[in-house]
Structure 1
Amino acid sequence: MTTIHEAYAELIQTLKDLEGVLRPAVAAQYDAPPGGTSDAAPNGIPNPTLDTVIDARRSDLSDEIRRTAAALLTATRAIRPQVPALGAALARWEGETP
């Protein structure tokens, strides 16, 4: 069984790991992917702006950022109510009446 301290440490480590990739991912999502994309548009003229917009890697990165944001909101909403609940339980333990 995991203790509260182990669970908390795991959450903090996960958030630190996320911080290491979140900032560069968010910064990169609107940049042209490295290595270039298609050789030319259908008319034979290169279109780097269009290539950036339709590049699947950029789209995948943006999708993953959205999924990560949703997961963070879900986790926050699950944990947030525990803060006052734990505080109230501690206050009751100490003899205070809510």
Structure 2
Amino acid sequence: MTTTIQESYAALIHTLRDLEKVLGPAVAAQYSPPPGGTGEVARNGIPNPTLDTVIDPRRLGLSEAVRATSSTLARITGELTEQRIILAAALTRWEGHEGGNSE
């Protein structure tokens, strides 16, 4: 099956919108005790997570998933920025402008 650039772009936008729905809650949750966990002990009004919270595998897994997502987004953003520059330059050359640099 051949995918057009428009279809790929629409799929990317759909994926980013789906990611947006879980990204905020995931980022916020990675620093909170997991549901059913032992929670935090407040010392002088400052939350201090218990060791069970700190080493909870669900919290650690969520934090790792957030870090991996962040790395993936940074990499993809760089790649897409480079492709946008290449595409814009090709379009500029196609339009008959010298140099092909639209930046």
Aligned residue in 1 for 2:45: none
In 1, the alpha carbon distance for the partners of 2:29 and 2:69 equals 15
Distance 1:25 1:80 in 2: 26
Q: Distance in 2 between matches of 1:36 and 1:82?
A: 45
Structure 1: which 4+ aligned runs deviate by more than 3 Å?
none
Seq. identity, %:
59
Q: CA deviation at 1:73?
A: 1.4
In structure 2, give the amino acid aligned to 1:83: R
2:10 maps to 9
**Structure 1: segments with no counterpart, 5+ residues:** 38-47
TM-score of the superposed pair, with normalisation by structure 2: 0.80
Note the aligned Cα RMSD (angstroms): 1.2
**What does residue 43 of structure 1 align with?**
none
Matched to 1:33, the amino acid is P
Amino acid corresponding to residue 93 of structure 2 in structure 1:
R
| CA distance in 2: counterparts of 1:29 and 1:36, whole angstroms | 13
Query: Which residue of structure 2 lines up, in the alignment, with residue 79 of structure 1?
Result: 80
Q: For residue 52 of structure 2, what is the aligned residue in structure 1?
A: 51
Higher fraction of helix:
1
Q: 1:23-62 to 2 correspondence within 5 Å?
A: 23-36=24-37, 49-62=50-63
| TM-score, scaled relative to structure 1 | 0.84
SS of alignment partner, residue 50 of structure 2: helix
Question: 1:41 matched to which residue of 2?
Answer: none
Deviation of 1:36 (Å): 2.2
What is the correspondence of 1:61-72 to structure 2 with a 5 Å cutoff?
Answer: 61-72=62-73
The residue number in structure 2 matching 1:45 is none
Where is the strand percentage greater, Structure 1 or Structure 2?
A: 2
- Matched pairs, number: 88
